[in-house]
Structure 1
Amino acid sequence: MTTTDTFLACDWRAPRRTLSGALLGCLFSPLLLADDTPLTLERQWVSAPSVESTTVAEMARYGSKVEIIDRQQIERAGPSSDITRVLQMYVPGLYVAPKNGPFDYGTYSLLGGRNDDTLILLDGVRLNNRLYGGLYLDTLPANAIERIEVLKGGQSLLFGTQAVSGVINIVTRSPQTRDTSGEVNLGLDSFMGQSGDARVERILSNGLGDLGLLAYVSHNISDGYQPYRNSAYSASTRDKKRGYEVTTFGAKAIQGFADDSRLELFYQYSDANLDFARPVNNQKTTNDRVQQIATATFEQRLSERFSYFVKGHVNDWDTRYTKIDSLKDGRLVSKNRNDYWGFTDWGLQAEGKAELDGGHVLVFGTDNQWFKGQDDVLKIDNNQAQANALYTQLRPVFAALPDWHPSLGIRHEKMSGGESATVGMLTSLYDLNAHWQLRGQYGSAFKLPNAEQLFVNEDYEQGNRNLKPEKSLNAELGLDYKGSLLAGEFNASVTAFQRKIDDLIALDGIHWVNGQGRIKVRGMEVDGRWQFSPRWNLSADLTRNLLESRNGVTLSNIPGFFARSRLGYESEDGQWGVGGAIRYIGQIDSAKKVDYGHYSVVDADAYRYLDRAQQHRLSLLVENLFDRDYTTSMTSSAPAVDNLGRPFTSEVRYTYRF
């Protein structure tokens, strides 16, 4: 999705943001500094600016709530962190529960949404596969990410199906300096998990313009922890830990042409061997996976009033699934051995943005995607799909109301094997004064049935070729403040939301059906950040969700209440910092109506630069400081078993920048 107009270099001498708390200050005493000479990097850029419109960040100007997680926060999420861990720590109002630790599936909820109500993008490319409908973040390394943009509320107008409660756009890193530069990281945790990654980049000039090049590689390996209580394991279970090994490499090239156009190419390859933990009769259960993502984007600014981009992408996912049981009599039974399941997604999007007379802005585009898959584990009769969409949005300007920034638009989308969907959206931002803003959005969103729901053909699960798209009517209203409190910088916001869902897609016994009646979700999110002294800061957020069941249908795995708070301290010279955070999860019911919530978890972190140039750094993360036993989700087996969150884990990382 979005990139900044210029790729500015990181200034490593600039003050760092404070960490989340002061729990580990005693761990880092002053160290001798090897070099007093600051490391200087001049700001550089790829000369041709990015003109890709409909960006997540841009929508904040028209009434949508946007959160940005920057590179400093990503680095403090831990040496072996994947994207799920980063989201769990830093996004206000987003509930995230990794099933069994790093590089695993997770449960997500944003503004009262279900697990697949949030659309996940990588540089604007859809990661939610339309054949299976899931979220696939478990092989994305955090070291490859520059920032994460979270756009809240119904967003189907610009982003299509599954953008029911929000959009998370993961933006990969880009080259930023004309001198060869980069970094190397090495990490180790208390379960002997190891992590390592490296990045190198440079911007060159050639006969066409500026050429930015970047490459990265990462490797994470661990035997993991025991994700079930001892009482849950059968006597014949041999493999009781859930381990992982993930290797990723990627590259990006950005070629600028003069000052008005550019071509960006991106490729990432991930090879992962992931344990799929089971408590009963488990000898070996693994997903052995290769994922490849490639994108090509051409952007051009034809004039001061018109720009466009064309983006193509391929997302290829190939998994070999192995499941071997160990029986009481010692025999091994192979249920699956390297059985294949996977998919390939292609996409082509074109969008233009024109400034009309009077300052009005018109955005228009087409979004086309094709999908195919194969599954030797789950039988699906039709493993191909196609979706085509047209959309437009007007951002008018009213001279008599210069402080009002509205937008309105419409989208029509058709998917093969299902009905079409048409949605509209109105957003509004009003600057009340220098400190207060009133924002709101109202419109419809949709979720097309996936191939499993349409065409699955198993004895225990039957698809329905006549499923209608699931539709929802969404409303969000918010008030934002930015100013001061007791001489310190302070900003806060409150958002009330409501969602009315029609034609809810759900399982009725073994059959996929559209539910009768309307399901309502409503709630409130509050968050704030306070820099109450030059060195100390405090942030907190809380979310209350109220769910309505209808005709026996209840939305599950959505917390009724959750809250987080972070306290941080940073030294005056930015050489060291410490922090701590606590998160509390209230009632949360599984699909079988088992409440597995009501727990709190405390994390802590610290960092220390070893030299004035800030080339050498030690970082420490302690997850689950008090070793709380808590449940992240329930297994689908009968009887259901608790998936346990990560126990007390300490991780240390060394970073070298050059």
Structure 2
Amino acid sequence: MIRRSLIPLFGSLFSPLLLADDNTLVLNQQIVSAPSVESTTVAAMAKYGSKVEIVTREQIERAGPAADVTRVMQMFIPGLYVAPKNGPFDYGTYSLLGGRNDDTLILLDGVRLNNRLYGGLYLDTLPANAIERIEVLKGGQSLLFGTQAVSGVINIVTRSPQTRETSGEVNLGVDTFGGTTGDARVEKIFTNGWGDLGLLAYVSRNASEGYQPFRNSDYSGRVSDKKRSYEVTTLGTKAIQSFGDDSRLELFYQYADANLDFARPVNNYKTTNDRVQQIATATFEQAINERLSYFVKGHINDWDTRYTRIDNTTNGGRNVRNHNDYWGFTDWGVQAEGKAELPGGHVLVVGSDNQWFKGQDDVLVIDDNKAQAHALYTQLRPQIDALPNWHPSIGVRHEAMSGGDSATVGMLTSLYDLNDHWALRGQYGTAYKLPNAEQLFVNEPGDEIGNRNLKPEKSRNAELGIDYKGLLAERDFSASVTLFKRKITDLITLDDVQWVNGQGQIQMRGFEADAKLALDDQWSLQADMTRNLTESRTGVTINDIPSFFARSRIGFESENRLWGAGTAIRYIRDITSSKKVEYGHYSVVDADAYRYLDNAHQHRLSLLVENLFDRDYVTSRASNVDNLGRPFTSQVRYTYRF
């Protein structure tokens, strides 16, 4: 067998996922040897009718000198509402196609990141310099991805080594809130006795004294710590070993240490989360022949936090309410999937997904309990010769959980190419969401009680869309409109003091529209908007989802691409909190610019201005107090590439 280097191997790995000038997804039809899990699963679903968005490496760099993943998604993913609670490296509120905070599944190279204690999304320990792209698969996707993929899946794909020469970059930055950032990456491909070995390593550190996240009028009692500071250090490495032409082994590990203030407006002396997160994956992939391939993947996501809360007392003393109290979880699993091209061009996908989970919280009193789930799934992607422009798929998944509960879901997708410019797509299926550890096991005295008999929450999801790609006034133009509808049954909710499955159903519906236009060779314009409508037959409502939000961005690139600039505005209409208090109603303007200092693009200066007009706006509400978004902030960063 002839040995093949990793450089053309990577070319073939990523050949199914190509990006056109307008960043839309283009699929290459060639057969791919040793297919990469991260680069084919989402791309394939785009071909069969699911709406897919891609955030490129260039966009990640344009999101800001010290951009974290949350900010990248806030700027560039149409239909995704993002509201970081108290600035960078904090928890946030997310909504995709009208979904709740835990209705979207977040993956890192295919590994689940959602917090299995509380179901939320925690992305604050993922450095943007380690990310190659972000793939967004919209609508109910439980068939291939399981629990929490109710409104969509976001797969964050880490960078891989690309060159035989030692290469990488170093970044240094500062901002106006005493923030400093620094990160570095290095990579190289070697040749050994088995094939080629690609190695990559990265490190990043972010620190800031932070801004004041509450209005002065909202502070009460004796508050001595009014700012929310943070220190986050991350180390990561990836190794990819090819074996001949048709197989590869990939190993990934990331260690993140975060020391984060937890802002509180009442009697706060010191409240901190000191956290360590470790993520490790191992993936073996092989193309047995041109028609048959498979992968086996194991992962572990381990999260350990020590929580401290100290109050000021009226007599000038200190009241230690928590001192290094532990909360954390471990999520590990094994997935295997095979793909076969059958006679006639039909494609069959068969897989097994097995996950184990344990979590403990000494703060909310969640005992150390374990849970597990095991799933089998299959999907058929038929090729219908009589209708060559129609690309359907159909599949089913059965998942059994601890305690004897189970969920069976199905999914039907369809893409029809009307002509070279227009395409009609749709998907219909069921999805489910397992109860999290808090809902099952919480036992805080005087507060809510967990319910070990909770059933999975189920939903029926439908999306229908039309896409256009062509010219408008002789300029490149693309546009898309998607209608969505979701009916939720067995809603997991609080009934006075206990978590229960609610009666009746809740319906979410709405639409999303986005468009991109090249005004000329240098100017570009993009915009999107989403409308969400919620209906309930039980009196239960879904909270913290904006009824309407929209974004627009205009960008300029110099003719020689040595410098560029852009400005963006996002508008958020009314949002209703769990206490039935309405907030939102704001517009925020950001601006960014960059300048390369040399023609070789080795040295670059970047500038980001957030909240250009210093708008006072509310990202969320807790304990009847407004959490304020980041005020006017300017950041400068220097980049050196080698």
TMscore range, shorter length: over 0.9
Q: Distance in 2 between matches of 1:408 and 1:223?
A: 52
Question: Which amino acid is 2:546 matched to?
Answer: P
Question: Which amino acid is 1:255 matched to?
Answer: Q
Matched, 1:266 2:255: no
Tell which deviates more after alignment, 608-617 or 506-515: 506-515
Q: Distance in 2 between matches of 1:156 and 1:323?
A: 38
Matched, 1:324 2:310: yes
Checking the alignment, whether the CA contact within 8 Å between 2:66 and 2:637 is kept in structure 1 is no
Q: Distance in 2 between matches of 1:496 and 1:589?
A: 23
Q: Distance in 2 between matches of 1:466 and 1:561?
A: 36
Mapping for residues 34-433 of structure 1, pairs under 5 Å:
49-52=34-37, 55-381=41-367, 383-417=369-403, 419-433=405-419
Residue 550 (structure 1) shift: 2.8
Long gaps (5+) in structure 1: 20-46
Q: Distance in 1 between matches of 2:7 and 2:137?
A: 17
Matched, 1:590 2:593: no
Checking the alignment, whether the CA contact within 8 Å between 1:6 and 1:50 is kept in structure 2 is no
Checking the alignment, whether the CA contact within 8 Å between 2:7 and 2:162 is kept in structure 1 is no
1:207-266 deviation digits (Å, cap 9, x = unpaired)? 111110000000000011000000011241000001100000100000000000000000
Checking the alignment, whether the CA contact within 8 Å between 1:485 and 1:532 is kept in structure 2 is no
Mapping for residues 436-475 of structure 1, pairs under 5 Å:
436-458=422-444, 459-475=446-462
Determine which of 625, 630, 641 is the counterpart of 1:641: 625
Checking the alignment, whether the CA contact within 8 Å between 2:394 and 2:411 is kept in structure 1 is yes
* Corresponding pairs, count: 622
TM-score normalised per structure 2: 0.95
| Counterpart residue number, 1:579 | 566
Residue 509 (structure 1) shift: 1.6
Residue 273 (structure 1) shift: 0.2
| Identity, % of aligned positions | 76
Checking the alignment, whether the CA contact within 8 Å between 1:131 and 1:385 is kept in structure 2 is no
Determine which of 614, 635, 642 is the counterpart of 1:651: 635
Question: Which amino acid is 1:405 matched to?
Answer: H
| Counterpart residue number, 1:624 | 611
Question: Which amino acid is 1:545 matched to?
Answer: N
Q: Distance in 2 between matches of 1:629 and 1:584?
A: 13
Residue 328 (structure 1) shift: 2.1
Aligned partner of residue 58 in structure 2, secondary structure: helix
Q: Distance in 2 between matches of 1:204 and 1:146?
A: 21
| Counterpart residue number, 2:478 | 491
| Counterpart residue number, 1:527 | 514
Q: Distance in 2 between matches of 1:70 and 1:604?
A: 19
Long gaps (5+) in structure 2: 1-5, 24-31
Checking the alignment, whether the CA contact within 8 Å between 2:168 and 2:186 is kept in structure 1 is yes
Residue 451 (structure 1) shift: 1.9
Checking the alignment, whether the CA contact within 8 Å between 2:359 and 2:437 is kept in structure 1 is no
Aligned partner of residue 88 in structure 1, secondary structure: helix
1:58-77 deviation digits (Å, cap 9, x = unpaired)? 21000000000011111122
TM-score normalised per structure 1: 0.92
Residue 515 (structure 1) shift: 1.0
Residue 49 (structure 1) shift: 3.6
Matched, 1:477 2:461: no
Aligned partner of residue 75 in structure 2, secondary structure: helix
Checking the alignment, whether the CA contact within 8 Å between 2:212 and 2:227 is kept in structure 1 is yes
Q: Distance in 1 between matches of 2:578 and 2:177?
A: 32
Residue 381 (structure 1) shift: 4.0
Checking the alignment, whether the CA contact within 8 Å between 2:357 and 2:370 is kept in structure 1 is yes
Q: Distance in 2 between matches of 1:376 and 1:190?
A: 37
| Counterpart residue number, 2:502 | 515
Matched, 1:550 2:550: no
Residue 452 (structure 1) shift: 1.4
Q: Distance in 2 between matches of 1:600 and 1:302?
A: 54
Aligned partner of residue 144 in structure 2, secondary structure: helix
Tell which deviates more after alignment, 244-253 or 52-61: 52-61
Aligned partner of residue 131 in structure 1, secondary structure: coil
Q: Distance in 2 between matches of 1:417 and 1:277?
A: 38
Q: Pick closer, same or farther for the CA change 1:280–1:363 going to 2, 3 Å.
A: same
Question: Which amino acid is 1:65 matched to?
Answer: K
Q: Distance in 2 between matches of 1:642 and 1:417?
A: 40
Q: Distance in 1 between matches of 2:20 and 2:225?
A: 43
Determine which of 539, 553, 578 is the counterpart of 2:526: 539
Residue 374 (structure 1) shift: 2.0
Checking the alignment, whether the CA contact within 8 Å between 1:289 and 1:317 is kept in structure 2 is yes
Question: Which amino acid is 2:188 matched to?
Answer: R
Checking the alignment, whether the CA contact within 8 Å between 1:567 and 1:581 is kept in structure 2 is yes
Question: Which amino acid is 2:393 matched to?
Answer: S
Larger RCO of the pair (alpha carbons < 8 Å, separation 6+):
1
Question: Which amino acid is 2:275 matched to?
Answer: R
| Counterpart residue number, 2:10 | 7
Checking the alignment, whether the CA contact within 8 Å between 2:360 and 2:368 is kept in structure 1 is no
Question: Which amino acid is 2:55 matched to?
Answer: I
Q: Distance in 2 between matches of 1:51 and 1:537?
A: 32
Checking the alignment, whether the CA contact within 8 Å between 2:470 and 2:476 is kept in structure 1 is yes
Q: Distance in 2 between matches of 1:386 and 1:441?
A: 29
Question: Which amino acid is 1:7 matched to?
Answer: F
Question: Which amino acid is 1:530 matched to?
Answer: L
Residue 157 (structure 1) shift: 0.3
Tell which deviates more after alignment, 646-655 or 409-418: 409-418
Q: Distance in 1 between matches of 2:178 and 2:380?
A: 54
1:302-344 deviation digits (Å, cap 9, x = unpaired)? 0111000000011111100000001122110000010111111
Q: Distance in 1 between matches of 2:237 and 2:367?
A: 37
1:165-210 deviation digits (Å, cap 9, x = unpaired)? 0000000110001110000000100112000000000111111111
| Counterpart residue number, 1:565 | 552
Checking the alignment, whether the CA contact within 8 Å between 1:48 and 1:256 is kept in structure 2 is no
Aligned partner of residue 371 in structure 1, secondary structure: strand
Aligned partner of residue 559 in structure 2, secondary structure: coil
Q: Distance in 1 between matches of 2:123 and 2:8?
A: 27
Q: Distance in 1 between matches of 2:340 and 2:11?
A: 26
Q: Distance in 2 between matches of 1:539 and 1:349?
A: 38
Question: Which amino acid is 1:52 matched to?
Answer: V
1:35-57 deviation digits (Å, cap 9, x = unpaired)? xxxxxxxxxxxx97435386112
Tell which deviates more after alignment, 541-550 or 393-402: 541-550
Q: Distance in 2 between matches of 1:424 and 1:16?
A: 32
Aligned partner of residue 60 in structure 2, secondary structure: helix
Question: Which amino acid is 1:137 matched to?
Answer: L
Q: Pick closer, same or farther for the CA change 1:475–1:194 going to 2, 3 Å.
A: same
Q: Distance in 1 between matches of 2:7 and 2:489?
A: 38
Aligned partner of residue 158 in structure 1, secondary structure: helix
